[in-house]
Amino acid sequence: MDTEHDVVALILQDHRTMEDLFRRMRSVEEDRAAALREFAGLLIAHADAEETEVYPALRRFRNIDDDEVEHGEEEHDEGNEALLDLLETGLEAGDVGSAAWDEKLENLVEAVNHHLDEEERTILNGARENVPAERRAELGVAFREERARQLAADCGRIENVRERVKNRR
The reported pLDDT for the residue numbered 163 is 94
Mean pLDDT of the chain: 90
Convert the pLDDT of each residue in 103-149 to its tens digit. 999 999 999 999 999 999 988 998 998 899 999 999 999 999 999 99
Range among 53-57, 59-63, 69-73, 148-152 with highest mean pLDDT value: 148-152
Residues 6+ apart with CB under 8 A from 119: 11, 15, 72, 75
The answer to whether the predicted template modeling score (pTM) of the entire model surpasses 0.75 is yes
What are the percentages of helix, strand and coil residues in the chain, rounded to 5? 80, 0, 20
Which of 34, 26, 7 lies closest to 113, judged by CA?
Answer: 26
Cα distances (Å, whole numbers) of residue 121 to 59, 65, 124, 127, 162: 16, 12, 6, 10, 30
Lowest mean pLDDT among 23-27, 39-43, 68-72: 68-72
User: For residues 66 and 62, what is the distance between their CA atoms, to the nearest angstrom?
Assistant: 9
